Chains A and B, each alone.
Chain A
Amino acid sequence: MPPSQLKRLKASLREQGVVGPQQSKKQRKQNAQNGVSKEKRVHKKVALEGIREQFNPFEFKLAGKAPKFEVTTNRKTSAVVRRPGVAKGLAEERLARAYEEDVQRRKKVGGIVDKRFGENDPTMAPEDKMLERFTLEKQRRHKNSSAFDLEDDLMPGELTHMGQSLSLNGPALKDDFDEKDLELSDEEDHPSDDEQTRKRRRSSAGEDEEDEEDDEERPERKKSKQEVMKELIAKSKLHKYERQTAKDDDEDLREELDLEMSDIHALLRGAVPRSQPPPPAPGPGMNPDRAAFLSGTDKGKLDKDYDLGLRQMAQDKRSQPTERTKTEDERIEEGSRKLQELEAKRQRRMEGAPESSDEEDATANDGDEEEEDFGLGSGLKARPTAAEIGIEDEDDFLIDDDLVASGSDLELSEGDSLLTEEEARRPEFLTGANGPLPEAEIPEQNGVNGDLAYTFKCPQSHEELLQITKGVSVLDLPTVVQRIRALYHPKLNSENKAKLGKFAVSLVDHISYLANQPQQPPFLILETLIRHIHSLAKTYPVEIGNTFRSHLQAFGESRSLSPTAGDLVILTAIGTVFPTSDHFHQVVTPAILTMSRYLGLKIPQTLSDYSTGAYICTLCLQYQRISKRYVPEVMNFIENTLCVLAPTKLARLPGSFPYHEPKASVRITGTSKSTRRLTIYDCEEQELSGDDQTSLKAALLEINLSLLGAAADTWVDKSSFTEVFTPASKILQHLSSKTCRPTLSPITQNHLTKLTQKLTILLKNAHMTRRPLELHHHRPLAIKTAIPKFEESYNPDKKHYDADKERVDAAKLRKEFKREKKGAMRELRKDAAVVARESLREKRERDAAYEKKYKRLVAEIQGEEGHEAKAYEREKEWRKKGKK
């Protein structure tokens, strides 16, 4: 328990020395003499004051909470003790004063308000006042000055000449004042108007003495800041000017040297290409080049020459070591390595891995480069190489020199063939002399009729191509294409590249056109054309790809379920020109989708439909020969066809393929005598005699069995091989059953038996190798972690944290508004209270004065009355007495 109030008072009094042991008389006397007692009295007063305050519980207000340690908070700790009473008193006083002022000014109009700083402040010394006024003035000016204010002499970008200011009232005149003989008469060398006025005011204020004192001190005084700055600026400008002149000198020197550059060039190159005319005769004793330069006439030309020379130098080929001629082994090795690389790339594409960036660069690059990339041909693994290398120079594609050489001096700057390196190095590229083509078909002589032209226009569209080939035998077409390619080789002319691109596009159109012709051109021609397209596709992949795509589009839109021979040839060409094993390919994917659409949606009715389907199935399987992707439609189609062709109907359809019985039965009814294979033209609608039909049916059955075998080979490793091929094997069983077998030809029967055996073995293998699926050996998923989000403006002092900034702002605003409103209301209330109090006080005063006056008057009157009454009384008394 704390000590009582009284005890505490006593203790503090003692502490302060207000009360203490009594002093002797002597001591007191001494103290009084020394003045100690006087001091003590003052001290005592102060101490008492302190103690009084200390013990008044209402005079102080302590903070609600203990102050925090400074390290924990970034807020300024406010004063620990506040004095509400004092503050209130002060505020009230201020208000009262303001009210008074108000009252004084009430009902008064006009008047001058002195706004000079400190004018009404009696506490300020005149010096302070002046200092304050000066700073204020400076500040005001500083604030208002803009970059374009010409009057301001402190402006950084003032006008200069030779590094010196041009302003008349600025530092330009400083030079004169800098002279030592002239003493400055003023504090500032060039006071502005304001300052002058101020000075005047000051002098009028009678402070001349001080000024004089200052004047004397001036020379030793430190320079003002302004002066220092000005000096600095002038100095830097001088330096700048010096640098400028130095640079100009350098420039001159360099220009001189530049003029001699061409001479040096000539010396370096050893030749003197004096193409420019001799310069006009120079003046005596002057460098001619310099004269020319000075005259300025030759300047443009000079620059041009210089640029030209520079570019030539940049393009000069450095001497490079030639590549050592490689031995055969090395070449083979290199070739196989490249092949492996290409194969690896293909594999990656097959798996659908995204191409790496450098690969993309390679493909995006020029065709030539790519051809270099694709350097050596193919098939090294599979083919004996010696033969290939041996026949290198016999490429038929190398046209006789005189074919192109005549009249063209641009010819063969590289001393090589006209064709790309790749083509030159690829003997197998076109049908060579030792090719399998019969001589009669593609004659070595000039065309079939011996009158084939040597030069052709490069066809830019399919119509032009038709125009050109109008009079040309179909058999000569490869020669024509070959000659066009040679004539318009990209290396001959820069425009040829675009031309050949269009030619390639028209070739693609042409193969489908040719196949659609009723005279049915030999497939060797188509083959050669496709190979030409393939070779062109390496240079023009985008153009050719787009053409194929547009063919597919036209096919899909207009005749998706009735393809022509041309469409089939296009699909075949796509299969050879583009890598069908890719996971996704811009041309191949739509192509296979188109094919599967036919197989899936077409309900075959005639034998030709079945032939078309079989051809497309063949293509599908060939597309998938490497990647071995599953095409459900192929199986559906083969199974359906087998069921439909079977001599008798199956009692129960195995599997779940959609079965479509055609309107007119196509079942095999009898053995055909002739065995034939299908051709692409069987796919076209045609009338057939009974015999032909029988043989066609037999061929269809045969081909479907082969397709089934090929499909089984392709998909043997798939996980659902059993499910896919069990129905097929059931159909085969049906075909070899007693009801069907006799109607089939012996060859087919043989084929059937072999295929059945093969399927049985494969199915058995599949059964043996099948394992339960274990797809989910994944690493267990980790629980998701999230990096904690730090709030930059988070403040732990605040009670409520809100992440929504808008809401926070709104709340802040609301709070501020409330606070302001409260404050304003309090102010108003206080004002009102002051006004009320003051007016009440005034009223009281007035009342009191009135009362006083009243009383005075009453007293006066009463006094008078009393006097009169007394006089009357006296008179009366007197009269009474008198009467008596």
Chain B
Amino acid sequence: MPGLVKASAGSAKRKRSSSDKRPSKRARSESSEEDGQAQILLLENEIFESKKNYNNVATLIKILKTDSEDADDSVIAAISLCRVFTRFIVAGDLANKKGATDQEAVVVKWLKERYTEYKNSLFDLLGEEGISATALALCMRLLKTEGENTRTQEYQFPSSFLTGIVQALVKPESDANARKEFSENFVEEYDDIRFYTFEAIKRVLEEPRSTASAHQVFDNVFEILTTIESVPESEEELEDFYIPAPKKSKHPLFTLTKHKKRAQDAWYALVTMDLSEDQRKSILKIMSTSVAPWFIKPELLMDFCTDSYNAGGSTSLAALSGLFYLIQEKNLDYPSFYQKLYGLLDSEIMHSKHRSSFFKLMDTFLSSTHLPVVLVASFVKRLSRLTLNAPPGGVVTVVPWIYNILQKHPTCTFMIHRVTRTAKGKALLESEGLADPFLMEEEDPMKTHAIDSCLWEIVMLQSHYHPNVATLAKIISEQFTKYAYNLEDFLDHTYGSMLEDELSKDVKKVPVVEYEIPKKIFSKQEEGAGMEDSLLVKLWDFN
């Protein structure tokens, strides 16, 4: 509304007439507490009327700052101040004009100071629940106005202002709603805001702070960053701008690499923070989907990933997918990767809740037919060893996988079929028995001698208590007629799902009843009955 500003006197009148109406209306509908608001509006109007009343700005800021019980007042004050400053900015009152007198320069300086003060108090409001949404809206409005009007010729984004906003939003005590609103409606929507938010985040993260607050800040920043889902793929996609875009087509806002660079810096700043294990895991979880695509130099993530992978436990499991992304897409060479992977196969893995995702990845890693058979055999043997202590869900995952591997590496089938041909060997077996040549403790999968062993464990599981598991385990000893099993079908079984499956079926056939009614259940057999006590009676006291 530049036209409106130029005819300042006339417009002010018009404005007054309209704003005069409002308080009267309100006064009718609402009670006397509206006086304060009316007062604020009056002050605002006075500012517009004459430069003499500029001191009212200070009064308004004071109202805004006073932590009165009437929160409405400060909101109204903030809104009217927003109007006032918008007008100032548009009119250019906040800029040093050429050939201005000293007095005018003093006024401008003073106004600038008030403006900064106003902004700071707005940042404070961002942390307060309830008002934060309004405060954010005001901030963004001012940001827009500032961006549109303060530029002289060149495009200039009010990045310091944005930094202020971001800083206020990531503060530990900041309001979650405002943050959510900011990240969803502005950062995700507008390319320029995203661009400068990345910059601001980087700047904010570089500030030194205590560990306790750092964790909170991490969570807040992480929240903002994770809402940005769509990584732009080409420069044509960069077209949503909050503040009218620069005319120069070579501006960094138009180049994808610059965008990525900013994002990379922000993420990198986040990743290099001192992280707790949970934070690490949460980053690792979205590593391949949200983080890595931003990186121009994914090598920067390698350290993070390998560190996490080396950490062991579930962190390594989480790091696996990120690492896989780097290996697959960015050609990362991870020395002794398979040894590490082999090391992950411990007693926990079968009981872990990451079991299915781990198996998915492991299947991918071991899908190459070019892997040494010795290594593959080690994996097979170790997993089958682990199934001896695994829940049925784990067994169900491992057995089809082993089948697939055996199909892929026919040499491994020695593990299920090894005929002793020499008479000497047979004699040796007779006289000395056989010890499992597999070395469970060996950490290097190339040296476990698994290929010389047999999968007795799977044979034992053929008599698993769960009928379906037992039947599944029998595929190993049947002819390999199927090309491969689809592992997806077997990944997500748990006790709960299996039980649900059993109990949800209707009883169609008559259940068979034990024909013999036992004489004793809880008590000992009679003397001389010739029956042995059941295990229960032997071990437990039922008297």
Pick from B348, B467, B522, B534: contact of A524, CB under 8 Å: B522
Q: Does B483 contact A (CB under 8 A)?
A: no
B478: chain A residues within 8 A (beta carbon): 778
Pick from B499, B526, B530: contact of A436, CB under 8 Å: B526
Q: Does A44 contact B (CB under 8 A)?
A: no
> Given that A384-B530, A436-B523, A549-B503 are known contacts, is A378 also in contact with B515, CB under 8 Å in the complex?
yes
Q: Does B481 contact A (CB under 8 A)?
A: yes
A383: chain B residues within 8 A (beta carbon): 529-531
Pick from B385, B463, B495, B516: contact of A597, CB under 8 Å: B495
B513: chain A residues within 8 A (beta carbon): 534, 537-538, 541, 544, 577-579
Interface residues of B in 515-537 (CB under 8 A from A): 515-523, 526, 529-531, 534-536
B100: chain A residues within 8 A (beta carbon): none
B467: chain A residues within 8 A (beta carbon): 352, 583-584, 589
Interface residues of B in 448-491 (CB under 8 A from A): 454-457, 459-461, 463-467, 470-471, 476-479, 481
Pick from A378, A546, A679: contact of B542, CB under 8 Å: A679
Q: Does B424 contact A (CB under 8 A)?
A: no
B543: chain A residues within 8 A (beta carbon): 523
Pick from A349, A630, A772: contact of B418, CB under 8 Å: A772
Interface residues of A in 802-833 (CB under 8 A from B): none
Residue in chain A with minimal CB distance to B433: A768
Contact (Cβ within 8 A) A596 B509:
no
B539: chain A residues within 8 A (beta carbon): 618, 677-678, 703, 706-707
Interface residues of A in 602-647 (CB under 8 A from B): 615, 618-625, 627-633, 635-636
Q: How far is the CB of B228 from chain A (nearest CB, A)?
A: 38
Contact (Cβ within 8 A) A576 B465:
no
Contact (Cβ within 8 A) A720 B416:
no
Q: How far is the CB of B391 from chain A (nearest CB, A)?
A: 5
Residue in chain A with minimal CB distance to B394: A632
Interface residues of A in 373-427 (CB under 8 A from B): 374, 377-379, 382-384, 426
Interface residues of B in 286-343 (CB under 8 A from A): none
> B-facing mask of A549-579, CB < 8 A → 1, else 0?
1001100100000000000000011001111
A628: chain B residues within 8 A (beta carbon): 463
Residue in chain B with minimal CB distance to A658: B351
Q: Does B27 contact A (CB under 8 A)?
A: no
> Given that A436-B526, A600-B495, A630-B460 are known contacts, is A545 also in contact with B465, CB under 8 Å in the complex?
no
Chain A binding surface, main DSSP class: helix
Contact (Cβ within 8 A) B460 A719:
yes
Pick from A585, A590, A619: contact of B536, CB under 8 Å: A619
Q: Does B69 contact A (CB under 8 A)?
A: no
Contact (Cβ within 8 A) A773 B542:
no
CA distance A680 to B465 in the complex (A): 24
CA distance A577 to B347 in the complex (A): 37
B476: chain A residues within 8 A (beta carbon): 775
Residue in chain B with minimal CB distance to A338: B515
A541: chain B residues within 8 A (beta carbon): 510-513
A772: chain B residues within 8 A (beta carbon): 418-420, 434, 454
> Given that A771-B434, A773-B456, A776-B417 are known contacts, is A556 also in contact with B499, CB under 8 Å in the complex?
yes
> Given that A629-B464, A657-B389, A772-B434 are known contacts, is A546 also in contact with B514, CB under 8 Å in the complex?
no
A309: chain B residues within 8 A (beta carbon): none
Q: How far is the CB of B495 from chain A (nearest CB, A)?
A: 4
Contact (Cβ within 8 A) B419 A593:
no
> Given that A677-B540, A772-B420 are known contacts, is A352 also in contact with B514, CB under 8 Å in the complex?
no
Interface residues of A in 342-372 (CB under 8 A from B): 342, 346, 349, 352, 360, 363-364
Contact (Cβ within 8 A) A576 B511:
no
Contact (Cβ within 8 A) A523 B522:
yes
Contact (Cβ within 8 A) B459 A775:
yes
Contact (Cβ within 8 A) A531 B388:
no
Residue in chain A with minimal CB distance to B534: A622
CA distance A742 to B535 in the complex (A): 29
CA distance A774 to B434 in the complex (A): 14
Contact (Cβ within 8 A) A549 B429:
no
A635: chain B residues within 8 A (beta carbon): 388-389
> Given that A360-B509, A593-B466, A775-B476 are known contacts, is A719 also in contact with B459, CB under 8 Å in the complex?
yes
CA distance A619 to B522 in the complex (A): 12
A585: chain B residues within 8 A (beta carbon): 511-512
Contact (Cβ within 8 A) B388 A723:
yes
Contact (Cβ within 8 A) A534 B514:
yes
Interface residues of A in 465-508 (CB under 8 A from B): none
Contact (Cβ within 8 A) A586 B495:
no
Contact (Cβ within 8 A) B495 A773:
no
Pick from A527, A655, A771: contact of B520, CB under 8 Å: A527
B416: chain A residues within 8 A (beta carbon): 773, 775-776
Q: Does A695 contact B (CB under 8 A)?
A: no
A632: chain B residues within 8 A (beta carbon): 387-391, 395, 464
Q: How far is the CB of B500 from chain A (nearest CB, A)?
A: 8
CA distance A762 to B323 in the complex (A): 46
Q: Does B435 contact A (CB under 8 A)?
A: yes
Contact (Cβ within 8 A) A720 B495:
no
Chain B binding surface, main DSSP class: loop
Q: Does B346 contact A (CB under 8 A)?
A: yes
CA distance A593 to B466 in the complex (A): 7
Residue in chain A with minimal CB distance to B413: A776
Residue in chain B with minimal CB distance to A717: B463
Residue in chain A with minimal CB distance to B477: A775
B542: chain A residues within 8 A (beta carbon): 523, 679-680
> Given that A597-B499, A619-B536 are known contacts, is A770 also in contact with B418, CB under 8 Å in the complex?
no
Q: Does B415 contact A (CB under 8 A)?
A: yes
Q: How far is the CB of A529 from chain B (nearest CB, A)?
A: 10
B470: chain A residues within 8 A (beta carbon): 352, 583, 629
Q: Does B147 contact A (CB under 8 A)?
A: no
CA distance A854 to B302 in the complex (A): 115
Contact (Cβ within 8 A) A774 B419:
yes
B503: chain A residues within 8 A (beta carbon): 549, 552-553, 556, 590
Contact (Cβ within 8 A) A656 B347:
yes
Q: Does B70 contact A (CB under 8 A)?
A: no
CA distance A142 to B206 in the complex (A): 106
A378: chain B residues within 8 A (beta carbon): 515-517
Contact (Cβ within 8 A) B466 A589:
yes
CA distance A621 to B540 in the complex (A): 14
Contact (Cβ within 8 A) B512 A724:
no
Residue in chain A with minimal CB distance to B440: A656
Residue in chain A with minimal CB distance to B524: A436
Contact (Cβ within 8 A) A527 B535:
no
Contact (Cβ within 8 A) B509 A586:
yes
Q: Does A104 contact B (CB under 8 A)?
A: no
A94: chain B residues within 8 A (beta carbon): none
Contact (Cβ within 8 A) A630 B464:
yes
Pick from B388, B481, B499, B517: contact of A724, CB under 8 Å: B388
B481: chain A residues within 8 A (beta carbon): 781
Q: How far is the CB of B481 from chain A (nearest CB, A)?
A: 7
A452: chain B residues within 8 A (beta carbon): none
Report the 3 A-B pairs with minimum CB-CB distance, sorted nearest first: A378-B516, A768-B433, A656-B347
In the assembled complex, 9 residue pairs joining A and B whose CB atoms fall closer than 8 Å, in A order, are: A383-B530, A523-B522, A534-B513, A586-B509, A622-B534, A629-B465, A656-B385, A703-B540, A771-B434
Which A residues are closer than 8 A to B by beta carbons? 342, 346, 349, 352, 360, 363-364, 374, 377-379, 382-384, 426, 428-429, 436, 523-524, 526-527, 530-531, 534-535, 537-538, 541-542, 544-546, 549, 552-553, 556, 572-573, 576-579, 582-587, 589-590, 592-594, 596-597, 600-601, 615, 618-625, 627-633, 635-636, 653, 655-659, 676-680, 703, 706-707, 710, 718-720, 722-724, 767-778, 781
Which B residues are closer than 8 A to A by beta carbons? 346-348, 351, 385-392, 395, 413, 415-420, 429, 432-436, 454-457, 459-461, 463-467, 470-471, 476-479, 481, 495-496, 498-499, 502-503, 505, 507, 509-523, 526, 529-531, 534-536, 538-543
Supplied contacts A535-B517, A596-B466, 10 more A-B pairs, CB within 8 Å: A530-B521, A541-B511, A618-B536, A621-B535, A625-B534, A636-B389, A707-B539, A719-B456, A720-B459, A778-B478
